[in-house]
A and B are shown apart, each in its own frame.
Chain A
Amino acid sequence: MQPAYSCPATFYKRFTRKDGNQETTHYCPGCGHGHVHKYVAEALADFGVADRAILISPVGCSVFAYYYIDAGNVQVAHGRSPAVATGLKRAHPDAVVIGYQGDGDLAAIGGNEIIQAANRGENYTVFFINNAIYGMTGGQLAPTTLMDMKTSTTPAGRSAGNEGFPIKVCELLGALTAPYYLERVAIGTPAHNRKTRAAVRKALQNQIDNKGFSLVEVLSPCPTGWKMKPVDAAKWAVETMPKVFPLGVIRDGHDLDLGHPRRRRQVALGELPKVLGTQVPDVCALAECGTPIAEARFKISGLGGQGVLLLGQILAQAGMLAQRQVTWMPSYGPEMRGGTASCNVIVAPEEIGSPLITEPTVLVAMNGPSVERFGKDVVAGGTLLYNASMVPERPSLPGIRIVGVAANEIADSLGDPRVQNMVMLGAVLACDATVSKDAVWAALPQVVKSKPELIALNKRAIDAGIAAVK
């Protein structure tokens, strides 16, 4: 027969992380935690995976699990163990990641985290110590506290009216598709303990075999919290608790392929700039580079779908290729309301301050509301280009140049109503010298990364816009 307290190789011989007596654990006599610790440590040693093991200590009486188990150790916030496990396991799919949580930690504060990790089928192992009470904080109600059970926060006993019913975690998780193994066991008699040991081993083996999420719920005596003698507590754990939390296997395996282990793509460091598209070649050296310009502020406004953002982007791209400072800013705040879209493009010789435009030098108004809204803001001597197809009456605004272009009709005549924005871009080029046609030609394929025939069509539309102004 095995000696009762043989020490597994992965159980620290002396608890050097502990304050005070380093020979004994911090657990109360008769506590279930010690048993489960031992089974975990033993399995890690027997399976030869201690080097690969990462134990996540929770908040609760087992907050110091790292005092005892000789594995990589991490201590985490109350209830967050499943989220931390996710981060760990995704980083190191070959690590054997172990969550160890109490009922307050797992079923109360961390209820969402455990459900979600189980639902993602995270390939890690959870030991869930259900002692029906908050041990560490002194015996308060837990989500698993039995009906009528007295705790320090249910002095008259748990009532359905005030606290609801005990949460059956295994059954709850059993409603999900992804979990691979769910079993409820208990600590209290040698026979129960042996089953617990077997379940612990199975849950760890599953992870090693990349099967997926495994959770073992252990009904575990808490003599202190229950205010019982250790023998009575042991009895209560295996006789009374299982009446509410039936022992046995809730899920044992499935054939789903969850893609375990979740291996990452291997990408060489040198490939990253390509993957990210962060290195773009210099494609053009335009004649206008370095020639002096004044700051130009383009506001382009219209209905959503009229292509105002793209028009602005081509202007900005062209400005950038000409080695100007540029900003492109989509509509913001109150300007966004009412189905209108607008963007602000600044092309300047020097660093640009505010990217927001309150006084455009050029307003491109693709529809009537845009004229009404922004027309009065155009600086004296500035330009209003309006889409005459949508604005039947020529706007009368003093002190600015006003040019109407029937962009819709021109676009239609080119065979594609969508190029009305390009027609207006042509009008911009005809009225304002900030950006050259050469620069726009160079910018087009970079912004409109579509088929060459579309680029050709866009160019025709821009030329038509230029012609319409001249």
Chain B
Amino acid sequence: MAKQLIKGNDALLRGAILAGMRAFYGYPITPASEIAEAAAKLVPASGGTFVQAESETAAINMVFGAAVAGELSMTASSGPGLSLMQEGLSYLAGAELPCVIADVMRGGPGLGNIGPEQGDYNQMVKGGGHGNYRLIVYAPAFAQEMCDLTVKAFAAAAKYRNPAIVLTDGFTGQMMEPVEFPAAAVAPPVFDWAVRGDAATRPNLVTSIYMAHEELEAHNRKLMAKYAVAAADLPEHRGYLLDDAEVCLVGYGIVARVLRSVVDAARREGIRAGLFRPLTLWPYPAQALAEVAGRVRRFLVVELSDGQMVHDVRLAINARRPVGFYGRQGGMVPSPAEVLAVLRDPGKEHQSYAACV
């Protein structure tokens, strides 16, 4: 079958349905609304349900209800909406329910603007809700990955009974690129822990309450053990020209695309640059990055934020190499030339993140 030219957002939604998603509950917000608009058409046509919720709080709880019912369900939003969903995410993780949330990041804090930013990294990767939990986070950079990583997000969510995030940006969503979809749709799974309103699942209870302290600790330990397995199983990254690199650029999403161009331009000038692009932000591909640290002299992390991923890079390499940072915010995207100038002259790196390390 041939590839088709399609927008990232459309690829994401189609990928989700092919992965077995049959319930979409959304609340409009730029730049994520298009996913809900596509869902309103395609999910019912695919035999599922679409409802526009009254708020992101309600949307995530409708997703919770669908997940309890044993469905693969999803929602899509952007920073302000994700802030409202943090409560639900904590409950979903606590009750061990699979689902997928697409976060099409925009500028913040507050209402910020609708430009592309990556300021939700901490909120999604470190967890913005209460308690001890993790979210599985995928970071696509191509329209093809908007489909493929969404499919993976559903598989990981189902496997680990945990919410998974597709963390993306307006660029990756708006961009059209050739995409080859999976030929066959995955049959929606049947979960034995679900509550479906039938005799088989009548004895089931889905809850995040463990009143006895020992029990909650045991439950949390079970979650941690699960996360440890996921941390060994799920990390993915892509490397570009890392074998002989002296400086390793690190970025995800749209930034990784810019950095690839930077690497090519740098090499034309004789700077041996390479690119490390995490596809999973949690679990972070720390081991692979640590291996790179054995070879390169320094790192330069570029983000559309104040340097939220820098910490994970430093942790991954155990601060064995200098880690520089260059970030733009507010919807500004650095040009390859701009990053190249930073690469040539490390003095231009932003050091602001150092204050919070």
Contact = CB atoms under 8 A, between A and B. Distances in A.
B96 to A, nearest CB: 12
Contacts of B185: 269-270, 272-273
Interface in A104-120: 112-113, 116, 120
Interface in A69-106: 70-77, 80, 82-92, 94-97
Contact of A330 (B174, B198, B262): B174
A321 to B, nearest CB: 8
B239 interface: no
Interface string B142-178: 0000000000000000000000000000110011111
Interface residues of B, number: 86
Nearest to B97: A74
B261 A112 contact: no
Given A77-B87, A353-B336, A72 B196 contact: yes
Interface string A38-62: 0000000000001111100100000
Contacts of A262: 49
Contacts of A275: 42, 45-46
B73 interface: yes
Interface in A340-354: 351-354
A287 interface: no
A328 B7 CA distance: 9
Given A72-B202, A273-B185, A84 B261 contact: no
B264 A75 contact: no
A281 B257 contact: no
B292 interface: no
Contacts of B207: 57, 66, 73-75
A356 interface: yes
Nearest to B255: A354
Nearest to B88: A77
A355 interface: yes
A83 B23 contact: no
Size category of the A interface is 35 or more
A283 B177 CA distance: 18
A75 B2 contact: no
A87 B62 contact: yes
A281 B1 contact: yes
A94 B196 CA distance: 9
Contact of A276 (B17, B25, B196): B17
Interface string B46-77: 11110101110111011111111111010000
A83 B58 contact: yes
Contacts of A156: none
Contact of B212 (A19, A87, A272, A332): A19
A90 B51 contact: yes
Contacts of B91: 76-77
Contacts of A88: 65-66, 68-69, 195, 197
A91 B21 CA distance: 12
Interface stretch (A129-137, A172-180, A312-320, A417-425): A312-320
A415 B307 CA distance: 55
Contacts of A328: 5, 175-177
Contacts of B258: 353-354, 356
A92 B67 CA distance: 12
B175 A86 contact: no
Contacts of B55: 112
Contacts of B14: 276-278
Interface in B83-103: 87-88, 91, 95
Interface of chain B: mostly helix, strand, loop or mixed: mixed
Contacts, number: 256
A64 B51 CA distance: 29
Given A77-B87, A112-B58, A354-B257, A267 B196 contact: no
B287 interface: no
Nearest to A331: B174
B38 to A, nearest CB: 10
Nearest to A344: B175
Contact of A269 (B87, B187, B212): B187
A269 B54 CA distance: 31
B206 A51 contact: no
Nearest to A72: B195
B44 interface: yes
Interface stretch (B229-237, B308-316, B327-335): B327-335
Contacts of A313: 5, 176
A276 B18 contact: yes
Contacts of A97: 197
A326 B178 contact: yes
A76 B64 contact: yes
Interface in B243-280: 254, 257-264
B4 interface: yes
A264 interface: yes
B61 A84 contact: yes
Contact of B1 (A50, A267, A282, A358): A282
Closest 9 CB pairs of A and B: A87-B65, A95-B197, A353-B261, A353-B260, A83-B61, A91-B69, A278-B181, A267-B47, A72-B195
Given A87-B65, A90-B23, 20 more contacts: A19-B212, A53-B197, A75-B208, A84-B68, A88-B197, A90-B66, A91-B23, A120-B51, A262-B49, A276-B18, A281-B1, A320-B178, A325-B178, A328-B175, A333-B331, A353-B257, A353-B263, A354-B261, A356-B333, A358-B336
Interface of B: 1-5, 14, 17-18, 22-23, 25, 42, 44-49, 51, 53-55, 57-59, 61-71, 73, 87-88, 91, 95, 115-116, 170-171, 174-178, 181-185, 187, 195-199, 201-202, 204-209, 211-212, 254, 257-264, 331-333, 335-337
5 contacts: A66-B207, A96-B197, A112-B58, A330-B174, A355-B171
